[in-house]
């Protein structure tokens, strides 16, 4: 069974600074996908970034980038130039390819609550 761990329940960062959120996972699969989702206080879950395990290059989306270490099963999220609107819960998620019909197809971590301070 797949598990996702986020060891930082809460973090804070000053506006305009950089912060890194940690995520580790456990799987015996070789082909999978990893995601970071953001959930602001309004509760709408929003995709931040996605990484495919077969790609060695780390994904980037504007101010958001990941450090994907497949051998270490680590998938951290770096937020550069933090903005007040980045305040939210951040969830790391693991997903097996959809052809794996049954089982833990999609697993979320427990989340990290990030507060961006003015």
Give the three-state DSSP class for 86. Answer: helix
Nearer to other proteins, 62 or 118 (CB): 62
CB of 58 to other proteins, least distance (A): 18
Residues interacting with other proteins, by CB under 8 A?
Answer: 4, 32-33, 35, 37, 42-47, 50, 91, 93, 95-99, 101-106, 108-111
Cβ neighbours of residue 54 closer than 8 Å, sequence gap 6 or more: 31
CB of 42 to other proteins, least distance (A): 7
Q: Which is nearer to other proteins, 16 or 106 (CB)?
A: 106
Integer Cα distance of 89 and 114 in angstroms: 6
Cβ closest to other proteins, residue 72 vs residue 102:
102
Q: Measuring CA to CA, how many Å separate 92 from each of 60, 72, 80, 118?
A: 15, 16, 18, 25
The rounded radius of gyration (Å) of the Cα atoms in the chain is 14
Helix (H, G, I), strand (E, B) or coil at 85: helix
From the CB of 16, what's the least distance to other proteins, in Å? 28
Residue closer to other proteins (CB basis): 17 or 26: 26
Token code pair at residue 111: 């989340």
**Nearest distance from C-beta of residue 40 to other proteins, angstroms:** 11
């Amino acid at each position: 069974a797949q598990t996702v761990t986020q060891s930082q329940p809460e973090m804070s960062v000053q506006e305009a600074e950089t912060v890194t959120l940690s995520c580790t996972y456990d799987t015996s699969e070789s082909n999978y996908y990893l995601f970071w989702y953001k959930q602001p206080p309004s509760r709408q879950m929003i995709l931040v970034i996605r990484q495919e395990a077969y790609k060695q290059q780390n994904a980037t989306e504007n101010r958001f980038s990941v450090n994907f270490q497949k051998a270490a099963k680590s998938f951290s999220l770096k937020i550069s130039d933090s903005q007040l609107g980045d305040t939210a819960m951040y969830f790391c998620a693991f997903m097996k390819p959809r052809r794996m019909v049954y089982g833990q197809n999609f697993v979320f971590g427990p989340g990290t609550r990030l507060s961006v301070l003015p």
